[in-house]
Each structure stands twice: as structure tokens, then as C-alpha cells.
Amino acid sequence: MDEEHLHDDLRVFKDRNFFQLRLRSFFTVYLLLGLFFVLIITLFAVSLSRVSAISSKLNEVQPERKQNFSDRDFLLFPCGPGSREWEYFNGKCYYFSLTRMSWYKAKAQCEEMHSQLVIINSYAKQNFVMFRTRNERFWIGLTDENSEGEWEWIDGTDYKTTFTFWKEGEPNNSNNNEDCAHVWISGKWNDVYCTYECYYICEKPLPN
């Protein structure tokens, strides 16, 4: 009888030890899983922090890059990337038309482009215009339609005290109806009737 009790006690003891070992195994597994979970969370937080730092640096660099692109565009297109048909000269922008029209229509066309018919008030600008027009007829912003013989620049520049470059014998008001000026052979100025169809030159300041 004692042997039976002893045997039962040993079995219980073994079962208890086995149960305790199983509990320890489960505890170890759960502990490892917990540590793994904490490690994953930590790595995620570190990665998120790095991404945030990189994003912040990119945001700092981006305005500088935009400014660099802006500077490059200004060097390539000083009159503006959207005004590539305009030419730069001495602080202003110039458009040389590819179509002919009357002086009045040319004036209106320039105004639609936020500009005006060119004012030639210096020998340097005259040379620039002369080189570009190559003996073709181009309207300029000069007229005496308000009073015959009283020539006026459309922007109010004083005609009497500024540069002129009339062709010899011009202006002559042929047929008593030549009230608008254009550049012609060798860039010299000529008066002609304002409904005559010429090319035209628009002028505007540099964009802000």
C-alpha cells in the first residue's frame, strides 16, 4: 500500500513538473513574442522619425531648387518663360510681329499684350531695331494725326528733344494723309498713311 501511494505521489510530482515546464515554455514564447513586438514598434518609430527628418530637409531644399529653376529660366527667357517670342534689349522686351496690319490695329494688338508700339529714343535702340527689321516696314509708336507736322510719341516722350532718324526728305505727308511712322530701308523712319499694312514692334518692361 505504501508503494502504491509512493507511486502515485511520484506520478503527481512528475505531472506537476511537466505542467510547470509547459508553463515556463509558454511564458518564454510569450516573452519572446512581446520582445519581438516591442522591437517592431521601436523600428517603426525610428523609421518614421527618419522619414519625417528627410521630408523636412526636402522641404527646406525645395524652395532653393525652385529659385534655381527661376534663375535659370530668367537667364534663358528674361522676358518670361511664357513670352519666348519676345526679345530682350537694354532692360526691355520687344516683339517683332510676323503679320501685317494697320497702325491702329498694331497699336491695339500691342496693348492687348500689355505693351505699346516701340518708342525709339536713342541711337542704341535704333541700331537694335534696324538690325532686326532688315529693311522691312515696321510700325513704331510715332504719329502726327492730332496735328499735322506735330509728331508725338504715344507714351508722351518729348519728340522735339529726343533722337530722330528720318529718311532724307521725310516726313513729307505725301497726298496729305501720311500721319503714322514706320521704319524702313536701313531702319530709317518714313511717314505713311495709317491704314497701310506693316509689320509692327511692341515694347514692354521686364516682368517683375
pLDDT digits (tens, 9 = 90+) for 33-42: 777 777 778 7
Mean pLDDT, residues 36-49 taken together:
74
Pairing of strands 152-153, 92-96: unpaired
153-191 as b/e, with b when 16 or more CB fall inside 10 Å? bbeeeebeeeeebebeebbeeeeeebbbbbbbeebbbbb
Q: How confident is the model at residue 65 (pLDDT cuts 50, 70, 90)?
A: very low
Q: Which three cell numbers stand for residue 173?
A: 505727308
Pairing of strands 189-192, 138-143: unpaired
Per residue in 165-193, pLDDT tens? 999 999 999 999 999 999 999 999 999 99
Per residue in 85-138, pLDDT tens? 999 999 999 999 999 999 999 999 999 999 999 999 999 999 999 999 999 999
pLDDT for the residue 67: 44
Place of cell 524702313: 184
Per residue in 140-152, pLDDT tens? 999 999 999 999 9
d(CA 23, CA 170): 115
Percent of the chain with pLDDT over 90: 59
pLDDT surpasses 80 at 207: yes
**Domains in the chain: boundaries:** 1-61, 79-205
Cα distances from 100 to residues 119, 128, 163, 197, in angstroms, run 19, 20, 26, 5
pLDDT surpasses 80 at 23: no
Least confident of 11-15, 41-45, 151-155: 11-15
pLDDT for the residue 18: 53
CB atoms within 10 A of CB 103: 26
Q: How confident is the model at residue 9 (pLDDT cuts 50, 70, 90)?
A: low
Q: How confident is the model at residue 68 (pLDDT cuts 50, 70, 90)?
A: very low
Q: Which three cell numbers stand for residue 5?
A: 501511494
pTM of the model: 0.65
Tell me if 156 sits within 8 A of 165, measured CB to CB: no
d(CA 202, CA 78): 16
Among 122, 99, 123, residue whose Cα is nearest residue 109: 99
pLDDT surpasses 70 at 71: no
pLDDT for the residue 7: 54
Match domain 79-205 to its CATH number in 2.60.40.3080, 3.40.50.300, 3.10.100.10, 3.75.10.10: 3.10.100.10
Q: How confident is the model at residue 73 (pLDDT cuts 50, 70, 90)?
A: low
Among 149, 143, 147, 150, residue whose Cα is nearest residue 189: 143
d(CA 40, CA 47): 10
Of residues 10 and 180, the one with the higher pLDDT is 180
